[in-house]
Amino acid sequence: MQDKSTSDTDRSEDIAFGSNSIRLSGWEWIAVAVIFLSFFSFGPALWGRLGEIKSGPDYRLPYRLGGDYWLYSRLCRRACSQYETVLLGDSVIWGHYVPRDGTLSHFLNENAGRDQFATLGVDGFHPAALWGLVRFYGQDIANKKVILHLNPLWMSGEKQDLQTEKEFRFQHPRLVPQFRPRIPCYKESWSERMSIAVGRRVGFLDWTSHLRIAYFENMDFPAWTIEYPYENPLNEVTGGLATTEEDDPRDRRSWIERQTAKQDLRWVELETSLQWKLFRQTLELLQERGNTVFVLVGPFNEHMLQAASADVYGRMKKAIEAWLRENSIPYFVPDALPSEFYSDASHPLAEGYALLAQQLFENESFRANILGD
Amino acid sequence: MYFHTLPFLIFFLIVYPAYLAVKGTKLRLPVLLAASYIFYAWLNPLYLVLIGYSTALDYWVVTRMAKSPRRKSWLAVSIANNLGLLGFFKYGAFVTENLNLLLSSLNVPYEVPSRTINEILLPAGLSFYIFQSLSYTIDYYRGNVERETSLIRYATFVALFPRLLAGPIERAKNLLPQLHKVPKVCTEDITDGLSMFVVGLFKKIALADYLALYVNKVYAAPDQFQSPALILATFLFAWQIYFDFSGYTDMARGIARMMGFRLMLNFNNPYLAASLGEFWSRWHISLSTWFKDYLYIPLGGNRKGTFNTYRNMFLVMVISGLWHGAAWTFVIWGALHALGRFLTRELERTTYYKERVPKLAKQLFVFAFATFAWIFFRAESIGDAGVIVTRIFSSGWADPRCPVLALALVFAVWLYQYTHESKIKWVLELKPVRVGLVVAMILYLAVFAPSSNQEFIYLQF
């Protein structure tokens, strides 16, 4: 009787589940958890070992992979283990209009006569994004010498300073503070912000983003198969990462040759600037990690500014300098480079970077804090 | 709040331990009700007004019914109120739109004001909890259930969060007694609940949302695609809607199971049905049986001759179509199923069909018919449905560019279900197979799951 009743129960349970469940016992669930957690913990690291980054003294993260923070953190680890000094910043440090042997880090190494400097700048890393990058993906930047670049362009208007109430899509929203300080133009839903805040602390999720960005044209795998229905995804994965050679610019003209008009930029007040606030937070974070931080401000293309705008910029530059001095932070606020050395408002051409590197090597504070003279 | 989102995960991680801690105390029902209302209000706090009103009214009606000799009148109040709510929120715009069309075609210089009605929000899950609440008042009237004396318990029955948004539409007879007892939650409940949840999550994210990418592309502009793409998109939609809805149900049942509640089976391999009648006993079972118990049988069922049987079937199918949405496409979908039932019912009675036609051929026929009917369910308008049907039979044979992976995944699921109902079901019960499948599903979800959060199709109903 007991058997019959048990088998009846089993049958009714079976009916209750249909094929909608793959029933596992407690021990089987533990086995599943162990397998998954092993993959979760070691999968990304193993993947990293299988595919080495082809780095070198002038290596910079390929432009197309600028949103691949998992790859960035690997590059960061490698750079920090091989070089004494790293350069942090946006496309001015990355070298938007120059080839890899035309960047600031390249000319600094040339001046040093050895490979001392590595670029960790990436396109579009405005200060609010740089804060997130350093905090969540740049943990290896500790006890190093760091050249932290401040591009004043990010304070050249309410929009650049992320202060407009109207929503607009800015670069690297996943890196900015999700809750505090409040970013007025960032209107993501609360649940999405929460997902981002949790996600950037989970390396596995960054690795899955890496797969998407690096191999599937920044598409989800399912979306990629819709776009390329008959392609073999394994070919994409084994094809390797994008190379930095792809990024060599075709247009290397100066802003004068481009016939760009002079600008009347509406600089924000330094006291209320969100980007400046987050820049200072990044600086503090780097110092807390035992780094020697040297701040490089600009050099902005002041030739491109209309007189009134240039006056305001001049005052802002002085205020930045005063704050750095008051807080005993080594810095260099160079004068504008010759006009023909700029390709736009903030990006120097290779000649500009060469000159800037030379100026840095002549700067006393740079020599004392970075070169160790 | 949707099951496959991070807010739900956080919500459940807070609610579940709290529920387990208080489930043996008087706080069990208040905690469950509060959690359910928070879950619902997450979508829109205004929804609480409507569910609160509907719950309170049905509770009061049954209380009055218990004391009054005019039981039928009180039942009528409940039915009128529930159907009135459904009619106003769900069908208001549809009715005014069609009324205005009619008036205009009759050259009557009057237009029913429709702007306000169009702007009224359709509360998520309305059709589901209205039907559940209605089943209680009808069952009480029939003497099938006891009167529920606790308003909190009754409100929890209506709003229990795992099943609130898209069912299953539970009967008072099944769920209310479970709310009376202190639920026992053993290890098996947790492991089984987890199993159902993982399968449901996989169906929703890895399958339904994936197939939707192709289906949405084709159905958004059917005149730009040729026969193979339209056939494949319709075929994939048949599976998309199954994965989407049954995935939701699996997750709902899994969560409820972890809390010690048994919700009814809602999908049972519907695409393996060998007749349309059987299809409806495997598809959205809680709704099919609701219509059977509260509409088909009261209308006379199949007891009053062939004509009346077919009339009843037709009415039930058309109303079932309308339940899904306020549009003529849903009415046609229901009518098509009714027509299919008439024809196949007669066919199935022939000896030749019963004995000579292989089961697989019957299954394929039912699937093909159901898939064809889905065209009307999915199309944006009757015009679009017409374009799709016409182009399936008359356009060219251009490359459909349908991902091989999507077809492979659908085939794998079909094979799994087919095996599940065959004599070699034991293969699926082998430990390495079960563990391997669950690991594969979780890894696929973790690595390849799309980051977009698409809503469940059935939530709009």
* Ranges of each domain in chain B: 6-183, 188-448
- The beta-carbon neighbor of A225 closest among B253, B405, B437 is B405
Task: Name the CATH superfamily housing domain A61-371.
Answer: SGNH hydrolase (3.40.50.1110)
Give the residue from chain A lying closest to B190, CA to CA.
A26
Say if the Cβ atoms of A16 and B265 lie within 8 Å.
yes
Residues of B in contact with A16 (CB under 8 A): 262, 265
How much is the average pLDDT of A48-52?
76
Q: What is the DSSP letter of B274?
A: S
How much is the average pLDDT of A161-182?
91
Q: Percentage of chain B with pLDDT > 90?
A: 49
Supply the pLDDT for residue A366.
95
Report d(CA B405, CA B86) in Å as an integer.
41
How much is the average pLDDT of A347-365?
95
Give the residue from chain A lying closest to B414, CA to CA.
A19
How far does B151 lie from chain A, in Å, by closest CA?
A: 30
For chain A, the domains span: 61-371
Here the ipTM equals 0.80
Say if the Cβ atoms of B213 and A204 lie within 8 Å.
no
Supply the pLDDT for residue B115.
59
This prediction has a pTM of: 0.83
How far does B9 lie from chain A, in Å, by closest CA?
A: 11
Chain B interface includes A14 (CB < 8 A): no
Verify whether residue B324 is a known catalytic residue: yes
Say if the Cβ atoms of A35 and B249 lie within 8 Å.
no
Whether residue A301 is predicted with pLDDT greater than 70 in this model: the reply is: yes
A–B interface: beta-carbon pairs under 8 A: 117
User: Which range is least confidently modeled, A36-40, B41-45, B371-375, B434-438?
Assistant: B41-45
- The beta-carbon neighbor of A223 closest among B187, B417, B450 is B450
Interface test mutation site (partner A, options B421, B438, B454, B455, max chain A beta carbons within 10 A)? B438
Residue A3 binned pLDDT confidence (cut-offs 50, 70, 90) = very low
Supply the pLDDT for residue A261.
87
Interface test mutation site (partner B, options A6, A9, A10, A19, max chain B beta carbons within 10 A)? A19
Residue B103 binned pLDDT confidence (cut-offs 50, 70, 90) = confident
How far does B306 lie from chain A, in Å, by closest CA?
A: 33
The arrangement of strands across the sheet holding A117-119 comes to: A117-119, A85-88, A145-150, A292-297, A331-332
Supply the pLDDT for residue B453.
54
- The beta-carbon neighbor of B439 closest among A16, A19, A36 is A36
How far does A212 lie from chain B, in Å, by closest CA?
A: 9
Residues of B in contact with A39 (CB under 8 A): 443, 446
Interface test mutation site (partner A, options B38, B253, B448, B452, max chain A beta carbons within 10 A)? B448
Provide the H-helix boundaries in B209-327: 209-220, 227-258, 276-282, 285-291, 305-324
How far does B192 lie from chain A, in Å, by closest CA?
A: 6
What is the 3-class SS of chain A, one letter each residue?
CHHHHHHHHHHHHHHHHCCCCCCCCHHHHHHHHHHHHHHHHHHHHHHHHHCCCCCCCCCCCCHHHCCCHHHHHHHHHHHHHHCCEEEECCHHHHCCCCCHHHCHHHHHHHHHCCCCEEECCCCCCCHHHHHHHHHHHCCCCCCCEEEEEECHHHHCCCCCCCCCCCCCCCCCHHHCCCCCCCCCCCCCCHHHHHHHHHHCCCHHHHHHHHHHHHHCCCCCHHHHHHHCCCCCHHHHHHCCCCCHHHHCCCCCCCCCCCCCCCECCCCCCHHHCHHHHHHHHHHHHHHHCCCEEEEEECCCCHHHECHHHHHHHHHHHHHHHHHHHHCCCCEECCCCCCHHHECCCCCECHHHHHHHHHHHHHCHHHHHHHHCC
pLDDT tens for residues B287-305? 999 999 998 888 888 887 8
Whether residue A190 is predicted with pLDDT greater than 80 in this model: the reply is: yes
Whether residue B109 is predicted with pLDDT greater than 70 in this model: the reply is: yes
Give the residue from chain A lying closest to B203, CA to CA.
A20
Say if the Cβ atoms of B421 and A24 lie within 8 Å.
no
Whether residue A283 is predicted with pLDDT greater than 60 in this model: the reply is: yes
Residues of A in contact with B10 (CB under 8 A): 194
Whether residue A251 is predicted with pLDDT greater than 80 in this model: the reply is: no
Whether residue B224 is predicted with pLDDT greater than 80 in this model: the reply is: yes
pLDDT tens for residues B380-406? 888 999 999 999 988 788 888 888 889
Whether residue B93 is predicted with pLDDT greater than 80 in this model: the reply is: no
Q: Which of B4, B284, B324, B337 is catalytic?
A: B324
